[in-house]
Amino acid sequence: MGCLFHKSKRTKHTIENDTKKEYSWDKREAVNVDDFTIENLEDSEKWKLPGCVNGQQLVIQNCKNSTIYVLDHVNTITIDDCVGCKLILGPVKGSTFLRDCKDCICLVASGQFRIRDSRNLIIFLYCATQPIIESSSAILFGCYQLFYSGIKEHFKNAELSVFNNYWNSVHDFTPVDGECNWGILPENTTPFQYISTGGDQFCLGISLSLIDSVVPYTTYTKISDEPDYCFVIYFFNNGEEENFARSLIDKIYTERVDCRLIWSKQIQLEPQEALNMLLSDTNLENVKKGPVIGLLFSGPNVDGFCKQNELACSADSMMYISDDKSILRKQINVFLNISNMHISF
């Protein structure tokens, strides 16, 4: 019978073989923290161009009266102790934290967004979840408006859908009775009023226009009982549904200045959920093919305008336009409830 405490004889050869083993963590490229830290800037300008960050974490701290461009996709960003700065940021896959900042202008696109111990900030925001503020005041929010060469790919790298923006669904962890620590910028306020792109010296086609912005411009409008709404769904069509949806949004922007895009959502509908929305049998089959894009427009005769532009889409685009006012509110509420279950509050 063998002994449990028997020590096998190890030769010099086996020991040498053990030392030659390689592991996945040994092959990772070493990261220089200094390359992903921006700090102690004062009265200056700093650029991080596409490929410079490439999905790493980034720290911005102790900067004053400076303009910082991060035109790349990022894992997470922490921004601490910045005063009087302008921050133009590409998509952040995880979280963006602003702490102990004041008098700053920020363009931020992020999976999560949180502000703590800050004041007097203007935030042009894309957020895939509910933005949160804490122990902060005089925070004004607007819809993210930014384009540069490569930003669409950066959103995909960050695993963010440009159609899922909850920028105005802010939650305040420390509300004050009789006061409001945050507010919404006036409609059609643009970053142009606060930020200059500095001549775009790197030929990246930078634009702060809502027409050019990769994220659709949505307005802060509470849904009322007025009848002038149009609910549109684009069913999955191998990516073409995103192009068709954006085409209709752009037509509303440019041809119907009296109409608004209230929200856009890209979600996976289940057949039962589509049934609850009173969609047709054909639509029930279409929802099985992939995520859908829902758009809610408001404005005089906006439904007629959308129906006219339906002809501009191919037969394969699988587009649904609400045409029954008696069930419109139910469809909107069901779709919103479903989309809210897909985000973290």
pLDDT in tens, 221-234: 776 656 689 999 99
Predicted confidence (pLDDT) per residue in 87-126, tens digit: 999 999 999 999 999 999 999 999 999 999 999 999 999 9
Report the alpha-carbon distance of residue 173 to residue 142 in Å, rounded.
20
9 pLDDT higher than 60:
no
pLDDT value, residue 19: 54
- What are the counts of helices (DSSP H) followed by strands (DSSP E) for the chain? 7, 16
Single pTM value for the model: 0.87
pLDDT value, residue 20: 56
229-341 under CATH 3.10.129.10, yes or no: no
144 pLDDT higher than 60:
yes
Average pLDDT for the chain: 87
Beta bridge partners of residue 140, listed in sequence order: 122, 183
Mean pLDDT of 184-202: 81
pLDDT bracket for residue 283 (50, 70, 90): confident
pLDDT bracket for residue 203 (50, 70, 90): confident
72 pLDDT higher than 60:
yes
pLDDT value, residue 33: 72
Predicted confidence (pLDDT) per residue in 208-265, tens digit: 988 999 999 999 777 665 668 999 999 998 888 999 999 999 999 999 989 999 999 9
pLDDT value, residue 298: 93
Structural domain spans, the chain: 32-193, 229-341
pLDDT bracket for residue 201 (50, 70, 90): low
Report the alpha-carbon distance of residue 97 to residue 81 in Å, rounded.
11
Fold held by 32-193: Pectate Lyase C-like (2.160.20)
Q: Do domains 32-193 and 229-341 have the same CATH topology?
A: no
User: Whats the size of the chain, residue-wise?
Assistant: 345
Proportion of the chain above pLDDT 90, given as a percent: 63
Report the alpha-carbon distance of residue 307 to residue 192 in Å, rounded.
34
Residues 214, 151 contacting (CB under 8 angstroms)? yes
Proportion of the chain above pLDDT 70, given as a percent: 85
